[in-house]
């Protein structure tokens, strides 16, 4: 039995929709959030497994490491919520969440005065690119609100996630103390 909450948030197994009398547009609303959430979950859960010797170590003080890890978990939660909003055609809300939680304006809060000065140069660069990509996504989502071009928004959102993947592929955080 599928929980009504899962249906409300459009998180249902694809197999549940198969064999149902569901139009393609309705099925697509269920497919995109599931696909993106699956990718995000894979990234979140596989990071410890793919920790290899090729990644550079970012030695951070314990308090900075804890803050960074918390921020990354919040970023992942924001990405998941943004996909829900896109699936519900709430593009302006998705844009606001992206800009406020992930965009360049959020970078001011988390990084410039606290974490950024401890990060290796390359890690700082990727971080800035992720925040810039999130701001670009916010602009794309606002345009989607006007013209309905969802593909542009998904493409812009994938650029945000690509920065996450790049950083996790190149760096691992170690506590220096």
Structure confidence at residue 14 as a pLDDT band (50, 70, 90): very low
Contact partners, residue 135, CB within 8 Å, separation at least 6:
98, 99, 103, 104, 105
Structure confidence at residue 114 as a pLDDT band (50, 70, 90): confident
Query: Within a domain: residue 112?
Result: yes
Query: Within a domain: residue 64?
Result: yes
> What pLDDT does 53 receive?
65
The answer to whether residue 80 scores a pLDDT higher than 90 is yes
Query: Within a domain: residue 43?
Result: no
Task: Look up the CATH number of the domain holding residue 122.
Answer: 1.20.120
Query: Within a domain: residue 70?
Result: yes
Please count the structural domains in the chain.
1
Determine the structural domain holding residue 122 and report its residue range: 53-175
């Amino acid at each position: 039995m599928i929980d009504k909450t899962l249906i409300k948030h459009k998180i249902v197994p694809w197999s549940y929709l198969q064999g149902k009398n569901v139009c393609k547009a309705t099925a697509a609303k269920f497919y995109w959030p599931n696909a993106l959430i699956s990718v995000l979950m894979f990234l979140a859960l596989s990071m410890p497994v793919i920790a290899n010797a090729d990644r550079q170590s970012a030695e951070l003080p314990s308090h900075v490491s804890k803050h960074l890890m918390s921020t990354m978990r919040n970023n992942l939660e924001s990405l998941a919520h943004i996909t829900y909003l896109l699936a519900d055609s709430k593009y302006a809300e998705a844009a606001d969440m992206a800009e406020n939680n992930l965009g360049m304006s959020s970078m001011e809060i988390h990084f410039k005065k606290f974490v950024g000065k401890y990060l290796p140069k390359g890690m700082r660069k990727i971080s800035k690119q992720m925040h810039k990509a999130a701001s670009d996504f916010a602009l794309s989502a606002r345009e989607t609100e006007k013209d309905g071009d969802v593909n542009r928004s998904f493409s812009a959102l994938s650029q945000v996630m690509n920065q996450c993947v790049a950083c996790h592929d190149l760096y691992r955080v170690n506590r220096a103390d």
